[in-house]
Amino acid sequence: MMKPFHEPLTPDNAALLLVDHQIGLFTGVRDMGVDELKHNVSALARASLRLGVPVVATTTSADGMWGPLVPELQAVLPKDLDVIDRSTVNAWHDERVRGAIEALGRKRLIVAGTSLEVCAALPAISATAAGYTAYVAVDASGTFSATKRETGLLRLQQAGVIVSDYASLVVEMLADNAHPIAPDLYGDLDMPFGTLVGQFLAAQAR
């Protein structure tokens, strides 16, 4: 039997890796608005946690030039989450990061990072080579120029990484709008029409 091209993401087979969403790096983001990027990565983390998807978060030189995580994301993450500060360019090359992911036992890895072409792309490509199905949430991964965005996307696709937007990945994991958490989940995503969708689903549930 031919293996299906795409097996769906679920809350039971997925993990989320957040790479270097740091204050210093955000000052250089040019491919989208900084407020939009903060919104998107925070929404991705919040919705993933509601679904029970485990999160691994990492920074680079948090006490130095890049600074801590942006406060909007930090506020969403569990207080007891150990954010791994590393020196390697590719987060996958840090044994603590890779070990944290491997310990979860999940073979589908959603990645978001600043910058897209390095912080998100390199670990996603490495995870793919290691046998994972990797996804990059492009709109939760900013970068520093249009060229970097374009070349990053090309490299991801050449390596077999699935590119998507943050909301589509979460909704794929939800799978059923009749699920009791659907109204709250759409609220977490905070898309422009999300409030209306959430109100409709809540009304349907009554």
Residue 73, both tokens: 């994301």
Angle at 143 between CA 138 and CA 147, to 5 degrees: 95
Catalytic positions: 119
**Using CA atoms, how far apart are residues 108 and 105, in angstroms rounded to an integer?**
9
DSSP strands (E only) in the chain = 14-19, 55-60, 84-86, 108-113, 133-137, 162-164
Cis amide bond preceding 48, omega within 30: no
Secondary element (H or E) of residue 26: helix 23-26
Look up tokens 């603590």; give the residue.
96
Beta strands 108-113 and 55-60, pairing class: unpaired
Q: Tell me the residue ranges of DSSP E strands in 33-128.
A: 55-60, 84-86, 108-113
49 by Cβ neighbours in 10 Å (0-12 / 13-18 / 19+) ranks as: middle
